[in-house]
Amino acid sequence: MRRCACCSSCVRCGREPGDGLDGAHRVSFFVPDGGIVCRACSLRLDDLVPMELGTLRALERGLSASTGELTRLALDARAQAQAERLLFRFQRFHVGVELRSERFLAETVPVGGNPSA
Protein backbone atom coordinates (compact mmCIF):
# COMPACT_ATOMS: atom_id res chain seq x y z
CA MET A 1 0.00 0.00 0.00
CA ARG A 2 1.24 3.48 -0.82
CA ARG A 3 1.81 5.69 2.23
CA CYS A 4 -0.37 8.76 2.45
CA ALA A 5 1.29 12.14 2.78
CA CYS A 6 0.15 12.55 6.39
CA CYS A 7 2.52 9.92 7.78
CA SER A 8 5.21 9.44 5.14
CA SER A 9 7.19 12.66 5.64
CA CYS A 10 7.26 15.92 7.57
CA VAL A 11 4.53 18.23 6.26
CA ARG A 12 6.80 21.22 6.93
CA CYS A 13 10.19 20.28 5.42
CA GLY A 14 9.62 16.91 3.71
CA ARG A 15 12.09 15.00 5.88
CA GLU A 16 11.11 11.32 6.16
CA PRO A 17 10.92 9.75 9.63
CA GLY A 18 13.16 6.89 8.49
CA ASP A 19 12.76 3.37 7.22
CA GLY A 20 12.28 0.45 9.55
CA LEU A 21 10.54 2.39 12.31
CA ASP A 22 8.21 0.17 14.26
CA GLY A 23 4.63 1.06 15.11
CA ALA A 24 5.55 2.16 18.64
CA HIS A 25 7.79 4.97 17.31
CA ARG A 26 6.41 8.30 18.57
CA VAL A 27 5.73 11.11 16.13
CA SER A 28 4.15 14.54 16.46
CA PHE A 29 1.06 15.31 14.38
CA PHE A 30 0.37 18.95 13.48
CA VAL A 31 -3.37 19.32 12.88
CA PRO A 32 -3.29 22.65 10.96
CA ASP A 33 -1.01 21.11 8.31
CA GLY A 34 -2.63 17.65 8.47
CA GLY A 35 0.41 15.48 9.04
CA ILE A 36 3.47 14.55 11.03
CA VAL A 37 6.36 16.90 11.66
CA CYS A 38 9.99 15.98 12.19
CA ARG A 39 11.74 16.64 15.48
CA ALA A 40 13.47 19.80 14.17
CA CYS A 41 10.21 21.35 12.90
CA SER A 42 8.31 20.31 16.04
CA LEU A 43 10.55 22.57 18.15
CA ARG A 44 9.00 25.63 16.46
CA LEU A 45 5.37 24.52 16.76
CA ASP A 46 2.78 24.45 19.52
CA ASP A 47 -0.27 22.26 20.02
CA LEU A 48 1.17 19.06 18.57
CA VAL A 49 -0.63 15.74 19.04
CA PRO A 50 1.77 12.98 20.13
CA MET A 51 1.02 9.72 18.33
CA GLU A 52 2.50 6.33 17.72
CA LEU A 53 3.32 5.77 14.07
CA GLY A 54 1.37 2.49 14.25
CA THR A 55 -1.81 4.36 15.16
CA LEU A 56 -1.45 6.66 12.15
CA ARG A 57 -0.77 3.68 9.90
CA ALA A 58 -3.91 1.92 11.21
CA LEU A 59 -5.98 5.06 10.53
CA GLU A 60 -4.42 5.23 7.08
CA ARG A 61 -5.49 1.63 6.40
CA GLY A 62 -8.99 2.57 7.52
CA LEU A 63 -9.19 5.32 4.90
CA SER A 64 -8.85 2.84 2.05
CA ALA A 65 -10.67 -0.10 3.64
CA SER A 66 -14.05 -1.38 2.54
CA THR A 67 -16.87 -1.49 5.09
CA GLY A 68 -16.23 -5.21 5.63
CA GLU A 69 -12.54 -4.62 6.19
CA LEU A 70 -13.24 -1.86 8.73
CA THR A 71 -14.87 -4.37 11.06
CA ARG A 72 -11.54 -6.23 11.20
CA LEU A 73 -9.47 -3.13 11.94
CA ALA A 74 -8.62 -3.49 15.61
CA LEU A 75 -6.98 -0.83 17.76
CA ASP A 76 -5.79 -1.44 21.30
CA ALA A 77 -6.90 0.95 24.05
CA ARG A 78 -3.83 3.19 23.68
CA ALA A 79 -4.28 3.48 19.90
CA GLN A 80 -8.01 4.16 20.36
CA ALA A 81 -7.23 6.98 22.79
CA GLN A 82 -4.69 8.48 20.38
CA ALA A 83 -7.09 8.20 17.43
CA GLU A 84 -9.92 9.77 19.45
CA ARG A 85 -7.71 12.67 20.56
CA LEU A 86 -6.58 13.27 16.95
CA LEU A 87 -10.12 13.07 15.56
CA PHE A 88 -11.52 15.51 18.11
CA ARG A 89 -8.60 17.93 17.63
CA PHE A 90 -9.19 17.83 13.85
CA GLN A 91 -12.89 18.49 14.34
CA ARG A 92 -12.24 21.39 16.73
CA PHE A 93 -9.68 22.91 14.37
CA HIS A 94 -11.95 22.77 11.31
CA VAL A 95 -15.26 23.59 13.00
CA GLY A 96 -13.79 26.01 15.51
CA VAL A 97 -15.70 24.78 18.57
CA GLU A 98 -16.05 21.67 20.69
CA LEU A 99 -19.25 19.92 19.71
CA ARG A 100 -21.55 18.73 22.48
CA SER A 101 -21.53 15.31 20.84
CA GLU A 102 -17.78 15.05 21.53
CA ARG A 103 -18.30 15.05 25.28
CA PHE A 104 -21.31 12.73 24.91
CA LEU A 105 -19.28 10.22 22.89
CA ALA A 106 -16.39 10.35 25.32
CA GLU A 107 -18.73 9.60 28.23
CA THR A 108 -20.90 7.03 26.43
CA VAL A 109 -18.24 5.06 24.58
CA PRO A 110 -15.08 5.20 26.68
CA VAL A 111 -11.81 3.90 25.25
CA GLY A 112 -11.92 0.12 25.22
CA GLY A 113 -15.58 0.11 24.24
CA ASN A 114 -16.87 -0.72 27.72
CA PRO A 115 -19.81 1.50 28.68
CA SER A 116 -19.39 3.11 32.08
CA ALA A 117 -21.42 1.64 34.93
Domain range for 93 is: 5-108
Could you write out the three-class secondary structure of the chain?
CCCCHHHHCCCCCCCCCCCCCCCCCEEEEEHHHCEEECHHHHCCCCCCEEEEHHHHHHHHHHHHCCHHHHCCCCCCHHHHHHHHHHHHHHHHHHHCCCCHHHHHHHHHCCCCCCCCC
For residue 16, what pLDDT is reported? 80
For residue 5, what pLDDT is reported? 61
In a domain, 88, yes or no: yes
Give the pLDDT of the chain (117 residues) as one tens digit per residue: 345 666 678 889 888 866 555 556 788 899 999 888 888 888 999 989 998 888 988 888 888 888 888 888 888 889 988 988 898 888 888 888 777 777 777 777 666 544 443
- The total number of structural domains in the chain stands at 1
Query: With a threshold of 0.85, does the pTM exceed it?
Result: no
In a domain, 79, yes or no: yes
In a domain, 39, yes or no: yes
In a domain, 60, yes or no: yes
For residue 30, what pLDDT is reported? 93
In a domain, 55, yes or no: yes
